[in-house]
Amino acid sequence: MMTSVISKLTTLLGEEYAKLKGVQREVNFMRDELSSMNALLQRLAEVDSVVDVQTKEWRRQVKEMTYDIEDCIDNFTHCIGHNGTADSVGLVHRLVQNLKALRARCRIANQIQELKARVEDASKRRMRYKLDERAFESIDATVTDPRLPSLYAEPEGLVGIDQQKDDITRLLMEGEGTSMQQLKVISIVGPGGLGKTTLANEVYRELEGKFQCRALVSLSQQPDIKKILRNILSQISQKECGNIEVWDEEKLINSIREFLKNKR
């Protein structure tokens, strides 16, 4: 919903509606503010079960405001879209249509001013109640990777995975000694709770001594790419790289590629 409204606001800033010069600044302001709010709403959706009452009320108000903004834009574009006339239409009819278009523009200008004020109020409440901090705190407090304990399970406590481990190990290592070595990807798939991470970790432990470079990295559904690349680089190089925290993705990727060159 929010994405649709942001797109429509962007359209209002285009050449087609250049006659709305008086409200271009307000439309641009609303688009930027709603884009920022949309990012926060997405974060809140990740921790919906623990969002507090105050934040839920703010979210509800933002959604209602978004509906009103879209209605305003749709009504205006519908009105303007039906005011075009052919050359054969009489002068009086064209004047009437132009007056209707002018009134529509004045009406939307007033509505946009009101909607802009509502967007400003929502932004101020967001800052006043520190909703961004609440979202981060909720995520930090509740989102723990459920696979984490599997990475530290003791081998002697694992039962019933020997056959699967042997099968995956064989798939990874078959073809040893041939002149042509190809890259391989082995996927372990299935619903949560089956022990996929545990199995992958045991295969990793089994084979880590047979390779010059190795890394075991866990990814979330919304991964931090820089953090993942730093993790990979530090594991394959087995050393800390100076100032790695400020490296961009391109430098991290180039460093990983260079380090892995001609290595197994």
Same domain, 53 and 170: no
Same domain, 117 and 159: no
44-53, 66-75, 195-204: least confidently modelled range: 44-53
**CA angle, residues 32, 34, 38, in degrees to nearest 5:** 120
The tens digit of pLDDT for each residue in 69-85 reads 998 888 877 776 655 44
Boundary-marking domain end, from 210, 236, 254: 210
Same domain, 27 and 131: yes
18-27, 114-123, 246-255: least confidently modelled range: 18-27
Distance CA 173, CA 154 (A): 24
Boundary-marking domain end, from 125, 142, 159: 142
pLDDT band, very low/low/confident/very high, at 232 (cuts 50, 70, 90) = very high
Same domain, 152 and 195: yes
* pLDDT of 87 above 80: no
**CA angle, residues 90, 96, 97, in degrees to nearest 5:** 90
In this prediction, residue 138 carries a pLDDT of: 58
28-32, 218-222, 231-235: least confidently modelled range: 218-222
Same domain, 22 and 55: yes
Same domain, 196 and 65: no
Same domain, 97 and 195: no
Same domain, 60 and 136: yes
122-149 in b/e form (b: 16+ CB < 10 A) is: bbeebeeeebeebbeebeeeeeeeebee
Same domain, 182 and 84: no
Same domain, 256 and 155: no
Same domain, 130 and 8: yes
Range of the domain at 228: 214-264
- What percent of the chain is predicted at pLDDT more than 90? 17
* pLDDT of 14 above 90: no
Q: Is-contact 183 192, C-beta < 8 A?
A: no
In this prediction, residue 64 carries a pLDDT of: 92
The tens digit of pLDDT for each residue in 147-182 reads 666 666 666 655 678 889 999 999 988 876 654 567
Does this model's pTM top 0.85?
A: no
Distance CA 136, CA 228 (A): 20
Boundary-marking domain end, from 119, 142, 165: 142
In this prediction, residue 263 carries a pLDDT of: 86
In this prediction, residue 233 carries a pLDDT of: 92
The total number of structural domains that make up the chain: 3
Q: Give burial (CB, 10 Å; 0-12/13-18/19+) of 200.
A: buried
Same domain, 204 and 218: no
* pLDDT of 262 above 90: no
